[in-house]
Structure 1
Amino acid sequence: MQLLGNVLNKLKFPIRVMVRHRDTDFYCPADEYFQLKKDIAYIKTTKAEGIVVGILTPNHQIDLLRMQELITLAYPLAVTFHRTFDLIEDKVTVIQQLAQLGVSTILTQGGITPIMENLVTLQNLRNYGVQIQGGSGINLTNYQEVSHYCDAIHLGSAVHYDGTWNTELDVTKLQQLK
């Protein structure tokens, strides 16, 4: 975590830090939840603009109580709800709940199908007072089209050398963005 703090404190542009301890699902057992809270407390001591977080109950509903605790703990940092949102069936109810909790942005591909199949959904989600950031499946070929349906986009692995998170950012790919 200290390395993260050192990096964040040197950057001059806004960064939101992903706070997540597993890549298998979005349920958060008590020990991981405790660690999330510790991580958020530390991130608040850095120059991070915000956090990216999201937790579900075992039956794929938003864990509203624990999300509220995390958002309160993170204040005044901005909070982005991550792609957990894609697993939720009733997106309108959930986006309204997230707005009430104080979430500023939702990172989503609009559902469980590829982002290019969810453009209308992304457009409709923009009507509920939360910034919609398209993510997953966005690449240098489709990012301009996707950007018409979202408030922001997340390119992620598309701007890495081999198109995965396993390599560094590719400056040439970044320079192709307009």
Structure 2
Amino acid sequence: MIYPVTVYGDPLLRKVAEPIDTNSEELKELVDNMYATMYHSDGVGLAAPQIGKSLRIFVVDASSAADEDEPELEGFKKAFINPEILERTGDEWVMNEGCLSLPEIREDISRPERVKIKYLDENLEEHIEEYGGFAARVIQHEYDHLDGILLIDYLSPLKKRMLKGKLTAISKGKVKTSYRIVLPGKK
């Protein structure tokens, strides 16, 4: 099942997500549907709040970004269930980011270079792993969604004011996407 993507303005995107019940019979189906939705929307990551579910789970597949600079991204496809970032380290670096919940907005965002994260995979095996570069960026971006943080929260007040019109348009559905969206207050 491909879910519609929840867009800016929906209060769910600002909530701290709840831990997911790992005994849930629907967990595997949820993970599969999140991947399907992410691929359909041309994303490299997707968090449960972005599909209207306040749960601490996100999926990533950054395989398409693998190149000679970051060959470790080859096959980098994972589900992160009840994740916890243990530390963020390294120099802050800027990269242009987009977000499925903020269509038509791309901004330069500064994030730490490395991240150490504890999580359960889709087989409910616990991992503590460290990532750097693009993988660390995608993980931090998706993890932010679980804490009700959006990439626009990293922008200066001036830049946020400059985006006000675009944000209002997104919340009213006046945006073009290649994927279905859910407007604030709609199901």
Shorter-chain TM-score above 0.5:
no
What is the TM-score normalised by the length of structure 1?
A: 0.33
Larger relative contact order, structure 1 or 2 (CA cutoff 8 Å, min sep 6): 2
Question: Would you tell me which structure has more strand in proportion to its own residues?
Answer: 2
Question: Would you tell me which structure has more helix in proportion to its own residues?
Answer: 1
